[in-house]
C-alpha cells in the first residue's frame, strides 16, 4: 500500500515530512520548488524549524516545478504509483486529474480556519482583520474548491507570545497543522475518520492580494493586537 506526499522544499515542509514519518513510511514525496520568502519570513522559519536534525527519508523524491506538477507526465507517474492516500502541505493548487488519483483522496493542511480564511497567508489576514481568535489550522480533504473540502479536524493556534511577529504566528500555525495531522493520521489510515462538510466558506485570498504596503500595515497591527488578545485570554 503506497502513501505519498506533495509538498515543497523549505524547512517547514521538511518538518511536515518528518511528522508523517513518525507514523508511516511514504513511498514517494513530490517536492515542488518554491521561493523561500523574504528575510523576515526565513528568519522566523529558521527560528522554529532550523535547529532540527531532520531524519533522512527513504522515500523516492520527485523534484518538480509548479508547471511540471500539472503535466501529463506527472499524472502518469502518480497513476503508476497508485497511492492509497496523498498528504499535502504547501503545494500549488491540485487539479482534479491529480487529486482524484489516490484511491482514498488527498488530505491537506491549510494554515487557516477555512470558515474564516481560505487560500494563502491566512494568519496574516486574520491579523489584518484584528481577529487573532480566527488564527488556526484545518485538516481537510481536497476537492474541486479551494480549501473547501470536507473537514477532518481544525484547531486554533495557541502559544502566542507578546514578542511574536506575523511570521512567528504563521510558523506556530504550521505547527498546529502538523499536530492535528499526527493526531488524526491513524483515523485517516484506518478509514475511521468522520469528515464534515464545510457549512460556511471563508473569504478566499490569493497571492496578488498581499502587497508590500499591506504587509507593513499588518506588521504594525501585530504588537497591540497581541497585547489585547493575550490580556483578554489571561483575564
- Residue 88 is part of a domain; what is its CATH number? 3.40.50.170
Q: What is the CA radius of gyration of the chain?
A: 17
The pLDDT of residue 170: 98
Number of domains forming the structure of the chain? 1
The residue segments making up the domain with residue 179 are: 3-234
Per-residue pLDDT tens, the chain, 235 aa: give them: 899 999 999 999 999 999 999 999 999 999 998 877 788 999 999 999 987 766 678 899 999 999 999 999 999 999 999 999 999 999 999 999 999 999 999 999 999 999 999 999 999 999 999 999 999 999 999 999 999 999 999 999 999 999 999 999 999 999 999 999 999 999 999 989 889 998 899 999 999 999 999 999 999 999 999 999 999 875 5
Pairing state of beta strands 60-64 and 28-32? parallel
Residue-level pLDDT at 163: 97
CA distances from residue 48 to 34, 51, 169, 225 in whole angstroms, order as listed: 19, 8, 11, 22
Q: What is the pLDDT of residue 123?
A: 98
Task: Give Cα separations from 2 to 7, 83, 132, 189 (angstroms).
Answer: 17, 5, 38, 11
Note every long-range contact of 196-200, with CB atoms under 8 Å and residues 24 or more positions apart, other chains counting: 196/150, 196/151, 197/150, 197/151, 198/114, 198/115, 198/140, 198/148, 198/149, 198/150, 198/151, 199/115, 200/115
**What local confidence, expressed as pLDDT, does residue 37 receive?**
73
Instruction: Locate 80 and state its grid cell.
Output: 503508476
Distance in angstroms (rounded) separating the CA atoms of residues 231 and 228: 5
pTM value is: 0.95
What is the spatial distance between Cα 170 and Cα 162, in angstroms, rounded to a whole number? 14
d(CA 77, CA 155) in angstroms, rounded, equals: 34
The pLDDT, as a whole number, for residue 57 is: 80
Amino acid at each position: 500500500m503506497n502513501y505519498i506526499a506533495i509538498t515543497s522544499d523549505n524547512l517547514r515542509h521538511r518538518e511536515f515530512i518528518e511528522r508523517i514519518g513518525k507514523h508511516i513510511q511514504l513511498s514517494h514525496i513530490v517536492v515542488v520548488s518554491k521561493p523561500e520568502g523574504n528575510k523576515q519570513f526565513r528568519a522566523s522559519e529558521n527560528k522554529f524549524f532550523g535547529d532540527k536534525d531532520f531524519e533522512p527519508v527513504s522515500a523516492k523524491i520527485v523534484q518538480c516545478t509548479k508547471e511540471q506538477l500539472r503535466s501529463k507526465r506527472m499524472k502518469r507517474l502518480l497513476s503508476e504509483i497508485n497511492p492509497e492516500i496523498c498528504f499535502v502541505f504547501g503545494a500549488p493548487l491540485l487539479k482534479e486529474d491529480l487529486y482524484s488519483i489516490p484511491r482514498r483522496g488527498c488530505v491537506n493542511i491549510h494554515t487557516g480556519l477555512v470558515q474564516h480564511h481560505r487560500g494563502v497567508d491566512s494568519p496574516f489576514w486574520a491579523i489584518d482583520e484584528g481577529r487573532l481568535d480566527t488564527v488556526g489550522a484545518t485538516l481537510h480533504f481536497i476537492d474541486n474548491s479551494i480549501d473547501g473540502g470536507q473537514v477532518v479536524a481544525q484547531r486554533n493556534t495557541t502559544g502566542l507570545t507578546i514578542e511574536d511577529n506575523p511570521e512567528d504566528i504563521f510558523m506556530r500555525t504550521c505547527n498546529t497543522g502538523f499536530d492535528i495531522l499526527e493526531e488524526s493520521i491513524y483515523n485517516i489510515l484506518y478509514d475511521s475518520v468522520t469528515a464534515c462538510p464545510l457549512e460556511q466558506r471563508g473569504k478566499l485570498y490569493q497571492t496578488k492580494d498581499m502587497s508590500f504596503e499591506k504587509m507593513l500595515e499588518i506588521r504594525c497591527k501585530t504588537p497591540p493586537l497581541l497585547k489585547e488578545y493575550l490580556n483578554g485570554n489571561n483575564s
